[in-house]
Amino acid sequence: MTQQRILVLGAGELGMSVLRNLALRAGSSALGISVLLRPSTLHSTDPVKQREIDALRTLGIERIPGDLAADSVDTLAALFKRFDTVVSCTGFVGGKGVQLKIARAALNAGVPRFFPWQFGVDYDVIGRGSAQDLFDEQLDVRDLLRAQSRTDWVIVSTGMFTSFLFEPSFGVVDVENGIVRALGGWDHAVTVTTAEDIGRLTTEILLAEPRISHRVVHVAGETIAYGQLADKLDTFTGRSFERVEWTVPQLKQELALDPDNGLKKYRVVFAQGKGVAWDERQTFNAQRGMAVENVGEWMRRNLGANERALAE
């Protein structure tokens, strides 16, 4: 069996999940797995970074130095050239232009298959000119991939990471003070998936037979309305959460006063409700009968200790 050489870009929350799931399949599927990390990460003396490197070594994953933000397209293309599949798990942390640079490098390298960083909302439905300007670059990447046929590509649309829905800075759920805020309205919905499930589902999509090719694949842990989220929090905590509605005009006004605030950009996009939620029944995981973690299960796994602390 010919070995399939896979390069994962980044080893953050999603990157590590993809790497762990690929490593689980390496023996049976003849996979050679590598990860691209910044040289500063590879040589870091920070104990946390050292543990992460040790974990990669234990999984049998090759560590390759590279800097997606600083390296040129040609430099990255030279790194990508020896791989059959490149999976980008870098997120938006590199800033504007990085996702397009990675895509161009993959195409210039002639990589047979490419999974770009599109693990989020459905950018085609949202369209250009949204409040979150980074999303236009995601559409540039899609246009670039669709305009060629040499490199196969797959986009995995996951919705919001479940943990981000509960991120205090995002403002939707304030567990400590017992507040839920609806973005745009209580019947507005959002699709969420955990990073662990995204890593598992991406691996299954990558290895699926017959091969998935040149298409957007939707997955979902759960599609939930903000009213349903508030009800679940009431039931789970035994408290009555205060309900606050953040309307689109209100959120747009707040963004106008703070136009560089990334979180406020996200709030407007999600409040507008386009391309941020889809029918769970039409997803890859539902059609394959794959179990995923819903919002209630995530709360039991992550909020249990916090709730006990609040009760004491």
Look at the block and give the residue holding tokens 């996951």: 158
Residue 115: beta bridge partners?
87
Look at the block and give the residue holding tokens 């390298």: 109
Q: One-letter amino acid identity for 152?
A: D
Look at the block and give the residue holding tokens 């870098």: 90
pLDDT digits 0-9 by tens, 116-141: 999 999 999 999 999 999 999 999 99
- Tokens representing 210 are 């017959």
Burial class (CB in 10 A: 0-12, 13-18, 19+), 34: buried
Does domain 4-160+192-221+275-287 match CATH 3.40.250.10? no
Q: What's the order of all strands across the beta sheet hosting 31-37?
A: 62-65, 31-37, 4-9, 85-88, 113-115, 152-157, 215-218
From the list 71, 3, 84, the residue with the least C-alpha distance to 37 is 71
pLDDT digits 0-9 by tens, 257-291: 999 999 999 999 999 999 999 999 999 999 999 99
In this model, does residue 1 exceed pLDDT 80? no
Residue 312 is predicted with a pLDDT of: 38
Lowest average pLDDT, out of 42-51, 181-190, 211-220, 284-293, goes to 42-51
Give CA angle at 148 (145, 152), nearest 5°: 65
pTM equals 0.94
- Tokens representing 163 are 């943990």
Task: Please report, for the chain, the start and end positions of each structural domain, with discontinuous segments joined by +.
Answer: 4-160+192-221+275-287
Phi-psi region of 95 (alpha: psi -120 to 50; beta: other; left: phi over 0): left
